Amino acid sequence: MSGPSPGWPRLRLYLASAAPSLYPPLPRTAPAPTCKICRGPVRPGFSRCYQCEQHDRLAHGLLADAVVPVSYAVRGTAFATDLWRYKSPRAPAARSRASVRALLLAFLADHGACVWRHAAMPAPGCLAVVPTGAGRPGPHPLLGLVASGLRLPPCPLVIRPGRQGRDLDVDRFRAGPVPSGAGVLLLDDTWVSGASAQSAAATLKLAGARHVAVVVLGRHLNPDDPAAGPLLAALVPARYDRATCAVHRPAPLPSNGTNNH
């Protein structure tokens, strides 16, 4: 990946002033337990949620090497609404598109290295986007928003006819050419169960990818879900913070005791 794209100061200004508040993922040491894969709600005493346990059972060895959510997408909040409105087939909202683009490009510039390290991979050589479940024709809107800023060769993913579903399916998608041994950055706007993203990761690995790192803009949370209650209670809305992410490893303190990260 190359450095920041032209217009970078404007993206920073947008995130600082006009973008909606986020719900940053909590450290896994926080009082509210979270799934070690997707950072969603998890039963006490378990390290993975039910869905991620099932994914591992069905496609062990083919799943993403890392799943890194940028924020929680709490249903009914402005951020969750943006993740729907930016790709509305009737009338995509320009403000929502600007917000999604600024957030994703800034996060990857600030924390891409955190993601690659967490996935035990070098910087990616290809870019893919999880297709929508409805099988929207043409390139995914997310790809159009960020492709010019990331400057990574795309690896197209398309849904096979009749393969829509809620469960993990390693044959749901068809991948374009993937250089053997490549590392792929796989983008997803919203993670609900993770079945689509993990199905896409499996497809990419079966097509020749060695590593797949999933970056998710919003890990969906439903306030009506009792299991999400402890996690929701622990969340604090905040502006985008370039110093932290779900897998960020702070720089060591210098000898004078001040943090220069």
Q: Indicate whether 8 belongs to any domain.
A: no
Q: Indicate whether 208 belongs to any domain.
A: yes
Enter the DSSP assignment of 127: E
Enter the DSSP assignment of 19: S
Tell whether the model's pLDDT for residue 3 goes beyond 60: no
For residues 252 and 230, what is the distance between their CA atoms, to the nearest angstrom?
31
pLDDT at 256: 42
Q: Indicate whether 232 belongs to any domain.
A: no
Residues 6+ apart with CB under 8 A from 69: 25, 38, 39, 191, 216, 217, 218, 219, 246
Give the helix/strand (H/E) hosting 9. Answer: helix 8-17
Q: pTM of the prediction?
A: 0.91
Q: Identify the weakest region by mean pLDDT among 7-11, 21-25, 157-161, 202-206.
A: 7-11
Higher-scoring residue by pLDDT: 94, 89: 94
Could you tell me the pLDDT band of residue 107, with boundaries at 50, 70 and 90? very high
Strands 173-175 and 157-159: antiparallel
Q: Indicate whether 139 belongs to any domain.
A: yes
Could you tell me the pLDDT band of residue 136, with boundaries at 50, 70 and 90? low
pLDDT at 252: 44
* Integer CA distances (angstroms), 240 to 15, 175, 258, in order: 7, 33, 23
pLDDT at 255: 43
pLDDT in tens, 151-172: 899 999 999 988 888 889 999 9
- 53: which 2 tokens? 């346990």
Give the residue from 100, 150, 105, 66 showing the smallest Cα distance to 242: 105
Could you tell me the pLDDT band of residue 28, with boundaries at 50, 70 and 90? low
pLDDT at 162: 82
> What range defines the domain where residue 70 resides?
60-222
- What's 64's domain CATH number? 3.40.50.2020
Q: Indicate whether 127 belongs to any domain.
A: yes
pLDDT at 137: 66
pLDDT at 243: 87
Q: Indicate whether 261 belongs to any domain.
A: no
Tell whether the model's pLDDT for residue 250 goes beyond 80: no
Q: Indicate whether 18 belongs to any domain.
A: no
Enter the DSSP assignment of 97: H
Domain count, the chain: 1
* Integer CA distances (angstroms), 228 to 166, 172, 190, 199, in order: 20, 29, 16, 24
Residues 99-108 have a mean pLDDT of 94
Torsion on CA atoms 101, 107, 113, 119, rounded to nearest 10:
-80
Tell whether the model's pLDDT for residue 258 goes beyond 70: no
Q: Indicate whether 166 belongs to any domain.
A: yes
Beta strands in the chain (DSSP E): 66-74, 126-129, 157-159, 173-175, 183-191, 211-221
Residues 79-85 have a mean pLDDT of 96
Strands 183-191 and 126-129: parallel
Higher-scoring residue by pLDDT: 110, 137: 110
